[in-house]
Each structure stands twice: as C-alpha cells, then as structure tokens.
Structure 1
Amino acid sequence: MTLPADGETFDFLIVGAGISGIGAAHYLRERFPESRFALLDALEGFGGTWWTHRYPGARSDSDLYTYGYGFKPWRGRSIAMADEIRAYLGEVIEEDGLAPHIHYGHQVSAANWSSADRCWTLQVTRTGSGETLTLATRFLWMCSGYYDHAQGYTPPWPGLRDFQGQMVHPQHWPQDLDCSGKRVVVIGSGATAATLIPALAGQVEHITMLQRSPTFFSAQPWSHELEAPLRALDLPDEWMHEILKRAHLARSAEVVRMSFEHPQELRAYLIDQIRGHLPEGFDVDRHFNPSYRPWQQRVALVPEGDLFAAIRSGKASVVTDTIERFDATGIQLTGGQHLDADIIVTATGFNLKLFGGVPFNLDGEPVDFTRHVTYRGVMIEGVPNMAYLQGYFRSSWTLRVDLACELICRIVKHMYQQGRTVVVPTIAGEDAGMPRRPWIEPENFNAGYVMRAQERMYRQGDRHPWRHDLEYDEERAILPAVHPGESALAYR
C-alpha cells in the first residue's frame, strides 16, 4: 500500500472506513472511475463500530437484509455477529479494489477550506509514527459516524474509584478478560447489555443487569420466517436479498407507524411478547415497562429470546434501581440492596462526536456547527464541498448510506456538468427566517447519547430541504426525486 504523500491533492477524501466510508468509496468508484480518492481512518482496521466493539457476543441489532448494502446481497441469516459483518465489509473492499485507497492509523486533526484555492486542506497525523502531513482535496466526505471511538460514556458515580474489582466498558473490552466463575454486574439495559448477558451467562457464577429504568425489547428469530422456504427455491442471491429486505422493511415500518399512532397498543404488544419468555411471577411491569413511548428510544433486539433464557436459567437477574455509590466490593443501591461484584461492566452507552471531532475552518474562520442547519441530512448550510453520512435511528444505518450516496454523487456530477468547482447549500428567500430546531426533537427520539450532545450538534429547519429527522419510508421517495439544481444549492 502506498501511503499518501505530504502535500498530495485528491479529488475526494473520505474520512472513515466503516460502513459509511466503504459505501461512499463504492459509489465513487462506480460513478467517478477516473477520480483520485482515498479513505483515512484513525483506527487500525476497517469496520468502524465493528472494529471498536469486540465484546462477547457482539452482533447486529438490525437485520442484515436492510443493513447490508443495496449493491451487495447479504447471504447469511438475518441477525449477524460482528465478525460476519466485518467479513462482509471485507468482501466489498476486495471486490471493489478499495484496499490500496484505505489508509489506517491516519487521524485528521483539522479541515481548512480555502475559497481562493477552492479546496480543503486536511492536517493529518499518522498515529503509529506521529508523523504529520497535509493533504488537499476538492471534495471532502465525512463518514466517521458519530461514535467517539476513543472513549465510551461512563457517568460520574460516587465512589467509582473505591471499587477493587475490574471495571470494563464494552467499547474497550480486554480480549484476555476471564469472567469464569465471577460475579458480574452489567450497568445498562440497551442492546449491548442484552447481547453481553446471554453471551456470558454460561461461564459466570452470576450476572446481573442493573438498570436505572427499563428498555423495550423484542424477541425475534435469528432468521426471518421466509428465509427457509425462499432458500428452498434456490433463488438468485439478488432476489433473496430484495425479497427479505422488503419483508423486514414492511415489518419495521408497521412497528414505527404504531409507535406514533397507537403507542399504548404497541407497548402492550411488546410487553406481552416477552412475558411468556420469563419465569412465572417475574415482575415484568417493573423491569420491562419503560416510561417513554415505544421507539422514542431504540427497541433492543433479543434473538430467540436469549436474554430471557439466561434469566429463566437463574444465571442472570434484573435489578431496577439507582446507584447510591460504589464501594470496594460492588454497588450500593438507593433502595438498600448491595450488589456484590468481581467485574462491573459499564454498558452505559457512548459519547457522540460530531464529524470525528475535527475542527473546521472556512477561510481561517472557525465553523460553529450549532449556527448551521443541515441540507437534507447530507451537507451543511454554508459549508462548501463537504458531505457527510448519517443513518437512521429506527431503521438500518445503511439504508440511508445508499440513498445519501446516490444524492451526493448526483450533486457532484451536476457540478461537473455545469463547469463549476464549488457547491454550497445556501439558505435564501423565505427560508432565511425559518425557525432553527434542535438536531433531534426529544419528543421524536430521546436516547441518552442524543440528549447529551444536543448543544454540540448542527441544527435543522422546519421544512424541506433543511430537515433530516425523517424515516426511511419518507426518504426513499424524497431523496431520489431531489434535483441537484434545486435553489438551495449554489454552484460557482
């Protein structure tokens, strides 16, 4: 692999080699085969989330027929393990010949736009050697997701330093950690906790899920019920992928619709669904009946009800309470109970990091993204020649990668066809006075990582094309119909 040279100029630079960056690179190879591009990633391998999260049992919490790219059929079961997903991404890299274009261990520390030069200049550090270099690009594509890969979120609990056992965040799981015969407490009740607990239950003395408040869960099979009869027909992979994608989309769209139109009926359905998986007399309403509306936070997927099977076996238990303080041997709860622990896992979520934490400057002036709004969730108003990728909250991330990449490539192609070199989303006319809304309205989606980051994020307007909090069912009709010559895009 040839490393980028100091001072080198590219047509496109992609920051991030996870599901977004690899998808963006595919579309660039397909739509602009003569372009010079590179992917930069601070991590030491591809995959992003799937490189960082290596805790026991790590798996998808979306089906892979919608999480897989539209251009590459998924061939496995609906729910996949992390290694299977990375293998799939590796196939894309190999089939598209992307490996020579990906540069790992390259941390972008600044992005500076020059109107005079009509390009971005990136300050980059090679994390292994500490060497710094400057790279230029005519178009910058931010595909770093929104995880802070360097530091997971851990609340500042009282007495945290007093605990004498081992404390682990799933984002930084030690590969040599031995939980055999240990008393383990997992703090948190989201998708990570629901994955870890059944993965560890067979080896620990006991494992406890400690939650401040409940999460909605849904027990689903590893494979969609249509998979087996369809495979018996020996259909082409492309047909299988499309049929099962549509089946999963129809199911999830109905659940999302119910979450807004009939939230109490959906609540009852989700709770009744898991009630039969739990021991008789289990206090379902206390431990599995959240205070928020279904899908106001993610519904955690439990393949074949494995979390509930661990509870039935007696090797796992659920405690709903708040933490008073940590001590040498475990956790003292507000309700009076003490949880003894050898290992405490803080499955308390992640820190959100806008655009990888890279500071942006336009002609020497720092960009305060909180003063800018999004353009259709793919570009930022007032920021030239820069696109970004962000997925959905309630649907698979990659569904939006496909739609957004198609739109961004159409915008760049239109710019070229017009003989222009710069495109910048620009608010004009009656839109100039529109209300500026939060990045995400809490009434729509109020997960902890979203609420903690609201004041650091860009904003959105109250109308198209300045909104981004749409569902896939809306955007799959809206985004393909966008004309790149619309008035919100200024070319020069």
Structure 2
Amino acid sequence: MPAPDQTASSNSDNHVDVLIVGAGISGIGMAAHMTEKCPDRSYAIIERRADIGGTWDLFRYPGVRSDSDMHTLGFEFEPWTHKKSIADGASILEYLDRIVATRGIRPHIRFSHKVVSADFVSREARWHVVIEADGERTEMTAQWLYLGSGYYDYDEPHDAGIDTSAFGGDILHPQFWPEDYDYTGKEVVVIGSGATGVTLVPAMSEKAKRVTMLQRTPTWMFSRPAKDWFANTLRKFLPEETAYRVTRWKNIKMQDYGFHRARTKPEKMKEYLSKRLRKALGDAYEQKHFDPPYDPWDQRLCLVPDNDLFDALKSGDARIVTDRIASIDEKGVRLESGDFLPADIIVTATGLKLVIAGKIKVSLDGEQIDFAQRYYYKGCMFSNVPNLAAVFGYLNASWTLRADTNADYVCRVLNLMKDKGASLAVPVLGESERQALEEDDIFDFSSGYIQRSKHLMPRNAKRFPWRLNQNYLEDRKLMSEDPVDDGILELAAAADADARRHSEPASAI
C-alpha cells in the first residue's frame, strides 16, 4: 500500500459541503457515494490515524480477519475479487485502498487529525468543527457532518476488572498488539471466546507451545469455508460485477434466513449448530464447552472459517476451558474449580468499550447534544438535529450494508436540498409526537458490550422512521422507496429554521 499523503485536502479552503469523520469503511463509503452521486459537492475526511482502514488498520493481532463474508462486508459498488470471501485484515486494507485510489479520495483525507468538537450554528446553517493535529487546534466549517467514526473506543478497551498485577509474564490486549511480537514456544491463555478469541486461538497455536481459550460461558460457533465456491464458480462464467451482485444478494438472503430461523425456532437452530459442531470436532467435542446458556443469535454467532479453531483443538495445540477466574499469580491463572492454567502470556480478549459519535463533543447552538435523549431517524439521523448523519452497522449482518444504505440516503438528501435551495435538513419530532411514541429495545442482544452501553445509545421507537432497525432487507426497501421529503424531514433556509428552533420549548428533543 502506498504511503499516505500527509498533506491537507486538495481543497485548501477550510469550509466543505460535507465533513466526514473517519477513513474506515463508513467514511470511505460515504466519499465514494458522493463521488458518484454528488460530484458537485466538496468534502473532506478527518482521520485520526496515519492511514486509511479504521478497525482494519488498528487491529494487528495474529489472524485478524473479517467475521462476515466479503460479498456483504464489501460495498455494493465495488466487487470483491479475491477467492477467499472470509478475508484477512491485509486483504481488506488492499480492497479499501483500491477504492480510495480509483475514486481519487486520498487527496481529500487529512491524516493524523482528530475531531475534538462540533457545534452547529443554526443562523449560519454550518457546523463549526474543532480539529487537533500535532498539538495544535484549528477550525473547519461544513454544511453537513457525517460520522463514520465507528462504534467503539479506540483509546480504551473494556476493562473486565481482572486483577493481573501479580502476573510475571506479558499481558496483551488485541486492540493494542505489539508489532512483531514473538510468542513462539510460549504457553498462552486467551481470556474470552468471542469473535476475537475465536480468531486468535488458532492463529497463535501455529507457533505457541499451547493456547488455552478460557471462557466463563460457551459461545455459539459455526464453520464455513473461507472460499465461496458459488462466487468463484460464477466468476468463471459471468462478468465480475454481475457475479458479485448475485453472490451478494444470495448471501444477504441467507444471513436474513439464518437470523430469523434462529429467532423463530431457536431449539431447531441449537440442534443444527450442535450437530455441525459434533461433526467438526469428533472425539474432541465436549458439550460443556459448546452449549451456551442463551439462544443462537441472542449474541452474534462466531465464525470459524475452514474449521481452523476446531482443527487446533483436535491436534492438541489449543484447548478450551470453561471456568471462572479465582486469581492470577506470577505463573498463571487459578480457577474457581481449583485448576491452574500455567501461562507465559495472557491475552485479554474481553471485549470493546462502546462510545457514541467517536467521543466528539457535539453541540447545537452551543448546547451539548445528549444522544441518549434523541431518537434515531431512519437509523441514520437524529430527532431535531440538523445536517448530521452517523453509521452504526447491523448486529446481525455486515456493517457495510448499513454504511451503503445511509450514504446513499444522505446523498439523496443533499441533492434534494440543492434542488429546493435549502440549507438545513432536520428530522422534526414535536413534543406531542414524541410522547406518543412507543419505545423499543434498541438492541435485542444479550452480548456484554451491548448491554454495557445501552445507557449511551439514542432512543428507539417501535415504528419506523424513529428507530434503528436490525433488518437490512426492510431498511433497503424503506430507505430507497420512501420519499426523502416525507413530511418529517424538514428542509429549510437557515433563518426559518433558526426562528423555529428558538420558538420551541426547551423540553423538545
């Protein structure tokens, strides 16, 4: 990958039509959609890291890969051309770099810049955004702010409260993996059996003396080939883009079917998954390690490509222990059962810490916005907040599906604003309408990182458009077919919107 251009955006003016925060999947996707659908609008991307990729640039732990197939984690506009559809981190970065290069996005990115705060000034219909780089702060303005900053804290992982102070070896967290770290011949304990742990254990077992996955409770897992034979066969007979579209749609439908099957007939899904696990593991199968106390898709299923974890378990290079930690001493982990796990290295794959809006202080006319008191609008915008969109991907499908949908929708809003000569777009939720909304659980998932963060999340109504759906097929239909000018999204000039805002009661959210 070529070294990133460290210069500022080619637009030397510090005002742009759209300011995108983050050069990961969401931010790059928005820039690509704008290039195609809003080519007359200016944009800049603010990226705190030194290169593109977001998550895929941050995480460098052994084996890092997608836990979704790349025909759905890939964008709708850019075919995935690798034979492997379960891709390693380096291949995903290559894919993103190709998009950035072919669409001329890189000159618009300001690397090693961090957005500190953003205040929308109604009378100007502009965001005033404070940006920090090299210890100095500057300000940009933008008509629209697009948050593609992800959903977790880049600076702090979740603290599981495990006391490792007495441990004599190395303690690593996957989010901050040391470059060129050598674990050859070491005894490794990986705490956690989520997606990261399931990826780390087989990868580390290739060099380590032994890797132990220590879990409090089992996780539902399923295996699939890393190569998609259907996609690779289609590509022999059809043009690349056609084969990609067909495979993408097939995989979306399969994801949707599997999720709804799990939710409507959980016992059948448990039976199906357990049968596949027993077949994959053979004599290495122990029910206590693979029989979670929750239904499939109450938490995200963990993908095991090409049976790599199961093969490591069968070979003896890895093992699973289901128990709780009593203490950690200099030599390893003491369990509540009384067993002891010797360790040279402990990896705390204990989860992420969620944040809203990338920890940016977001304000409206100087008053900080509490997103937990705002309702989602179409899973993209927020009640009574003008000219702001954000991406929070699906929990039951690939992140990019929502990123594509939201970017397309915002481009449609921008184009309608231009046609109408409007400077603001606000999803208006009046006080009486708000009181009439029936609230819904924003995340019907039991995963720890989800439950820990619910108090931070925007509010969710039972009916569209005031909700964040977890149904891509429904969203795709609603977002593409419903008119942008739906009687809720108010398009206005700055003066009109400013007058209306100051006439509203303070309680309106």
Look up the match of 1:262: 265
Whether 1:180 aligns to 2:187 is: no
Q: How does 1:90-105 map to 2 (within 5 A)?
A: 90-105=97-112
Look up the match of 2:76: 70
Instruction: Determine if contact 1:434/1:461 at 8 Å carries over to the other structure.
Output: no
Whole-angstrom CA distance in 2 between matches of 1:379 and 1:228: 38
Q: Which SS does the other structure have where 1:195 is aligned?
A: helix
Greater shift, 289-298 or 28-37, is seen at: 28-37
Q: Which amino acid in the other structure matches residue 259 of structure 2? A: V
Look up the match of 1:247: 250
Q: Which amino acid in the other structure matches residue 353 of structure 1? A: V
Q: Which SS does the other structure have where 1:232 is aligned?
A: helix
Instruction: Determine if contact 1:68/1:398 at 8 Å carries over to the other structure.
Output: yes
Look up the match of 1:424: 426
Instruction: Determine if contact 1:6/1:133 at 8 Å carries over to the other structure.
Output: no
Q: Which amino acid in the other structure matches residue 42 of structure 1? A: R
Q: How does 1:427-446 map to 2 (within 5 A)?
A: 427-428=429-430, 431-435=433-437, 437=439, 440-441=442-443, 444-446=444-446
Greater shift, 54-63 or 427-436, is seen at: 427-436
Look up the match of 1:220: 224
Equivalent residue in structure 2 for 1:348, among 341, 346, 350:
350
Instruction: Determine if contact 1:215/1:290 at 8 Å carries over to the other structure.
Output: yes
How far 1:9 sits from its partner (Å)?
A: 1.1
Instruction: Determine if contact 1:146/1:352 at 8 Å carries over to the other structure.
Output: yes
Greater shift, 16-25 or 359-368, is seen at: 359-368
Gaps of 5+ in 2: 493-509
Equivalent residue in structure 1 for 2:39, among 33, 36, 39:
33
Look up the match of 1:113: 120
Q: Which SS does the other structure have where 2:408 is aligned?
A: helix
How far 1:136 sits from its partner (Å)?
A: 0.6
Whole-angstrom CA distance in 2 between matches of 1:8 and 1:473: 39
Whole-angstrom CA distance in 2 between matches of 1:475 and 1:413: 20
Whole-angstrom CA distance in 2 between matches of 1:315 and 1:419: 65
Instruction: Determine if contact 1:376/1:468 at 8 Å carries over to the other structure.
Output: yes
Look up the match of 2:159: 154
Whole-angstrom CA distance in 2 between matches of 1:111 and 1:446: 33
Equivalent residue in structure 1 for 2:139, among 117, 122, 134:
134
Instruction: Determine if contact 2:284/2:314 at 8 Å carries over to the other structure.
Output: no
How far 1:231 sits from its partner (Å)?
A: 3.4
Instruction: Determine if contact 2:8/2:109 at 8 Å carries over to the other structure.
Output: no
Whole-angstrom CA distance in 2 between matches of 1:349 and 1:438: 25
Whole-angstrom CA distance in 1 between matches of 2:247 and 2:65: 19
Which deviations, in whole Å up to 9, do the C-alpha atoms of 1:3-50 show, x marking residues without a partner?
269981111100000000000001111222122210001111111110
Q: How does 1:195-210 map to 2 (within 5 A)?
A: 195-210=199-214
Look up the match of 2:173: 169
Instruction: Determine if contact 2:231/2:244 at 8 Å carries over to the other structure.
Output: no
User: TM-score, normalization: structure 2?
Assistant: 0.92
How far 1:482 sits from its partner (Å)?
A: 2.0
How far 1:262 sits from its partner (Å)?
A: 0.5
Whether 1:57 aligns to 2:63 is: yes
Look up the match of 2:297: 295
Distance 1:93 1:272, change over 3 A: same
Instruction: Determine if contact 2:469/2:475 at 8 Å carries over to the other structure.
Output: no
Q: Which amino acid in the other structure matches residue 130 of structure 1? A: G
Whole-angstrom CA distance in 2 between matches of 1:429 and 1:418: 27
Identity of aligned residues (%): 37
Instruction: Determine if contact 1:7/1:133 at 8 Å carries over to the other structure.
Output: no
Q: Which amino acid in the other structure matches residue 466 of structure 1? A: W
Whole-angstrom CA distance in 2 between matches of 1:470 and 1:282: 33
How far 1:438 sits from its partner (Å)?
A: 6.0
User: RMSD across aligned C-alpha pairs, in angstroms?
Assistant: 1.6
Instruction: Determine if contact 1:7/1:134 at 8 Å carries over to the other structure.
Output: no
Instruction: Determine if contact 2:354/2:453 at 8 Å carries over to the other structure.
Output: yes
Look up the match of 1:276: 279
Distance 1:21 1:439, change over 3 A: farther
Whole-angstrom CA distance in 2 between matches of 1:164 and 1:309: 30
Gaps of 5+ in 1: none
Whole-angstrom CA distance in 2 between matches of 1:228 and 1:347: 34
Whole-angstrom CA distance in 2 between matches of 1:110 and 1:487: 31
How far 1:168 sits from its partner (Å)?
A: 0.4
Whole-angstrom CA distance in 1 between matches of 2:124 and 2:150: 28
Q: Which SS does the other structure have where 2:153 is aligned?
A: strand
Instruction: Determine if contact 2:396/2:470 at 8 Å carries over to the other structure.
Output: no
